[in-house]
Amino acid sequence: MTPALRQRGVRRPRAAMGAAGVAHAGAKSREHSLSRNNSSQNLREAEAAAAAVVLQSGGELRRRKGDHHQAAKGRPVLPRCQSEPEDVREASDVANVTNVDEQIAHALETSLGKRPSLETSTATTATATTAAAAEAPAAAAAETSEGSAAVHEASIFELLKFTVPTMGIWLASPILSLVDATVVGAQPVVGVTELAALTPGTVLVDYLVYVFTFLGIATTNILSVTVAERNAKRTQSRLNDALTLALVCGVAIGSLIFFYNAKLFPLVISTTSAELVQPASTYASIRAIGIPFALIGMVLQCAFLASKNTRVPLVSTLIGGAANLVGDIALVKYWGLGIAGAAWATVLSQVLTVLVLASKCNGTFAGMPFKMRAKVPKLSSLLEFLRIAGPVSIILLSKVVVFSVISLSAANLGATASAAHTLLFNVFLFFCVPGDSLNQCAQTFLPPVQGLARSERKLKNRIILTGNFVGIVNALLGVTLIF
- DSSP symbols for 176-206: HHHHHHHHHHT-TTTHHHHHHHHHHHHHHHH
pLDDT in tens, 197-225: 888 888 888 888 888 888 888 898 899 88
Instruction: Give the model's pLDDT for residue 340.
Output: 92
* pLDDT (0 to 100) of residue 64: 52
**Is residue 167 predicted with pLDDT exceeding 60?**
yes
Confidence of residue 40 (pLDDT cuts 50, 70, 90): low
Q: Where are the alpha helices (DSSP H) in 291-378?
A: 291-306, 311-327, 339-361
Among 98-102, 205-209, 371-375, 437-441, the minimum mean pLDDT is found in 98-102
In angstroms, how far is CA 145 from the centroid of its own chain?
A: 18
Q: 161 exposed, middle or buried (CB, 10 Å; 0-12, 13-18, 19+)?
A: middle
Distance CA 118, CA 46 (A): 9
Q: Tell me the average pLDDT of the chain.
A: 74
**Structure-model confidence comparison of residues 321 and 426, the more confident one:** 321
Is the predicted pLDDT of residue 7 greater than 70, yes or no? no
Instruction: Give CA–CA dist 442/423, Å, rounded.
Output: 30
Dist. CA 250–CA 211, nearest whole Å: 12
Cα–Cα dist 281/345, whole Å: 16
pLDDT at 126 over 60: no
Q: How confident is the model at residue 47 (pLDDT cuts 50, 70, 90)?
A: low
Cα–Cα distance, 416 to 396 (Å, whole number):
29
Rounded CA separation 301/220 (Å): 9
Are the C-beta atoms of residues 278 and 193 closer than 8 Å to each other? no
CA distance 60 to 66: 10
Query: Residue 72: pLDDT above 60?
Result: no
Global pTM reads 0.65
What is the model's pLDDT at position 50? 52
Q: Quote the CA–CA distance of 142 and 274 in Å, as a whole number.
A: 72
For the ranges 116-130, 188-202, 401-415, 447-461, the lowest mean pLDDT is seen at 116-130
CB 154 within 8 A of CB 459: yes
More confident residue, 281 or 208: 281
**What counts of helices (H) and strands (E) characterise the chain?**
15, 2
- Judge whether residue 148 has pLDDT over 50: no
Sign for the CA dihedral angle at 130, 52, 99, 143 comes to negative
Residue 46's pLDDT band (cuts 50, 70, 90):
low
Reported as a pLDDT band with limits 50, 70 and 90, residue 152 is: low
Q: Which of 25-39, 169-183, 275-289, 444-458 has the highest mean pLDDT?
A: 275-289
Q: CA separation (Å) from 441 to 19, 245, 449?
A: 107, 23, 13
Q: Average pLDDT for residues 356-384, to the nearest whole number?
A: 88
pLDDT for 235 equals 92
Between residues 338 and 149, the one the model is more confident about: 338
Give the residue with greater pLDDT, 321 vs 189. Answer: 321
Percent of the chain having pLDDT more than 70? Answer: 68
Provide the Cα torsion 279, 282, 283, 289; round to 10°.
180
Banded pLDDT at 363 (limits 50, 70, 90): confident
**Angle formed by the axes of helices 3-72 and 100-110, to 10°?**
160
Q: How confident is the model at residue 127 (pLDDT cuts 50, 70, 90)?
A: very low
Best CA proximity match to 406, nearest among 219, 268, 230, 221: 268
- CA end-to-end span of the chain: 150
pLDDT at res. 106: 53
Helices 339-361 and 311-327 pack at an angle, to 10 degrees, of: 150
- Residues 113-134 have a mean pLDDT of 44
Return the minimum-mean-pLDDT range out of 131-135, 179-183, 188-192.
Answer: 131-135
As a whole number of angstroms, the distance between CA 164 and CA 182 comes to: 26
Q: What mean pLDDT do residues 186-197 have?
A: 77
* pLDDT given at position 351: 94
Rounded Cα distance between 303 and 305, Å, is: 5
> What's residue 151's pLDDT?
59
Percent of the chain with pLDDT over 90: 21
